[in-house]
Each structure stands twice: as C-alpha cells, then as structure tokens.
Amino acid sequence: MRDARAWVEVDLGALLRNARALAAHARVPLVPMVKADAYGLGAVPVVRALETLDPFGYGVSSIAEGEELRAAGITRPILLFTPVVPSDLARLRAARLTPTLGEASIISAWAASGGGAWHLAVDTGMHRAGVEHDAIDAALAAAVVCAPEGIFTHLHSSEMDDGSMEAQETRFRAVLARLAARPRLVHVENSGGIVRRSPSAWDLVRPGVFLYGVGSGPKAALQPEPVASLRARILEVRTLARGETVSYGATWRAERVTKLATVACGYADGLRRHLGNRAHALVRGRPAPIAGVVTMDMAMLDITDSGGEVGDVATFLGRDGDALLTAEQVAAAGGLSPYELLVGLKLRLPRFHPES
C-alpha cells in the first residue's frame, strides 16, 4: 500500500466474523457465494480464509471461476449456479464442478455424459433460471435416470417483509412433495433469508453479500462488519477562486474560495461516475465532497473544510478514524446497488487482504 496511488483493502478478519455469525445463526453448513471474484474482493484469498470455517463448498457463476479455485488447490464441492449447455459439460466435469440444472434436455445430457452430483434448480418466482415450479414433469422424468444430490430455489426479495419469501417456499415445498425421494441437500436461503430466521429450515445456506459487509436493512437480526475499503492518495492540491468550475461538463462551480485535491482514483478503478457531485470521501476523518464528474483515472475533492495535503489518503469506502462510509451509503449516494459498487472494485486496483 505504501507505493500504491490507489488501492482496495479487504479485511479478511471481518469477513470471517461475518461468516461465523451467519453460521451460528443458520446452524447448517455454508455455501459461500464467491462469484464475480468474490464480489470484486478477490476469490482466491477470500476462499482461503473461509476454508478455516469448514464450509460445505462454494458457489460460482462460471466454469472459469471454478477452474480458478481448483488451480488454487480448493478441493471442496464447487457449485455452478448458472445454466449450462451440452458443450460445457466436458470442461465442467474436468474441473470437478457440480452443475445446477433445470431443463430436461440438459439433465439427460449430463446423465448421458457420465452423470455425477448435480442440483435441481427450481424457479419459484425469480424467473431467471431453473425449472418452473408448476411445470416440472419433464425435468422429474429426466431426473429418474440420474437423481440429483441437491435441490434449491432462489429468493428474489428476501430482505423484504412482503410475504414473497413464504410464498416461494410454499411453491418449493410442493415441488419437494412430488419427488420420488428427497435429495440429500436442500437449500433456499441467501443472505437476506438467512438473517430472517434461526435456525434454517433447510440443509445448507448460501450467503453472499452479507459476507462482504452489506446487510439486509437496519431491522435485520444480524448486521455485518464492513469488509472493503477504497482509498487513494492526494496527488495535487490547488486553490480555486469563487465561480471556477471543475471537471468535464463544468457541472461543479465553486461557491467560495475552495481548496481542491486531485486523487488517483477514477471510474476505471471502480469509483463510479455517478458518484460525482453526490458522494464524498473522508480526508483526515472528515467529509470531503466529490467535486465535479469522476473521470477515468482521477477524481477531485473539495477539502476546504476537511483539510489535506499531497500524500494524504482519501477514503471513498470504509473507515477513517471514527468516520465510516458503508457500501450501502456510498451506493445510495450514486443511485447504485451495493453489489455494483463492490464488483466494480475489481477493475484494476491492487487489493490487499489484511486480517484483523
């Protein structure tokens, strides 16, 4: 970090404490979701840390993500949670991945290629992937030849108290009742679902964004510790006269004599363009508004009130002294999802993984 112009810090200690809290709450094994490079925070170091908690396995969204974990020496089950086509099966099998299947034709193709562990994906309302809960006859017929090790569905609004989670589970239980035998592994809950009940009613849980520091609202039974920080060094400081503008499009105008800092972080680093004129950083523990449009490689901060000099560190996400910018706060300022914000951090910045 000493030589970096901008960087991401991933607190593996906080990550593990979040995972332990979920495991204690759910009382069943975890399948941590580490797709999209562990939500932008580095799949291999994240998984190596989580290995100490003895999870059932891990969830990914592409064969390449699974291959990366296998190359890193991970031997636990790795579930692939996106649909596959027949041409994927040889590569998937070579990487020893467990597919999640929802179409009769691909279930039959998996059986014909040698079979093995797979999980039946049931669509109970997300309408993204899996066999529809009320049209499962063909999938069940194909599954007779090669019975699934597991079965699951995905909750679309688990953080909301709108009855949708209960409605989806009712549909899912109806599918379970139609199976000739209950699969060994049944799983439903994502992060939002896990925190809403204890213990889990199922055999596994699939935590995702909670692990990385994003909760399910202020009323949730569990709140995560922040995990990711985004920091950049001040490269230049200048003084603007009242009325001068900043950045492309001149969307920000100084209303007073202003001390302006340029930092080495832009939208190519994951500092989203939408945060310009809306969000702030922390400099010396005090707010420093982002002045003007965030550019590809740099952003400008109004440090008139916070102070700051060349070489000081600006924190766009995370803690600086007693002040904290959470992923939810920063994302809300830019009209973003916290998921988008975290995943964007993988673009090009070095990532450091201290444990605390």
Which phi-psi region, left, alpha or beta, contains residue 215 (left: φ > 0; alpha: ψ -120 to 50)? beta
From 212, 248, 259, 346, active-site residue: 248
Those residues with Cβ within 8 angstroms of residue 84's Cβ, 6 or more apart along the chain or in another chain: 63, 92, 99, 101, 106
Residue 208 to residue 262: CA distance in whole angstroms: 34
| Phi, psi (degrees; rounded to nearest 5) at 240 | -105, 140
DSSP state of 269: G
The kind and range of the H/E element at 185 are strand 185-187
| Phi, psi (degrees; rounded to nearest 5) at 38 | 55, 55
Alpha carbon dihedral 42, 43, 44, 50, in 10-degree steps, equals 110
Catalytic status, residue 259: no
Q: What angle do CA 227, 58, 118 make, to 5 degrees?
A: 155
Nearest to 192 by CA among 169, 166, 158: 158
Q: Is the peptide bond before 199 cis (omega within 30 degrees of 0)?
A: yes
Q: Return the bridge partners of 100, or none.
A: 119
Catalytic status, residue 346: no
One-letter amino acid identity for 75? Answer: T
From 35, 212, 259, 346, active-site residue: 35
What residues are labeled active site? Answer: 35, 248
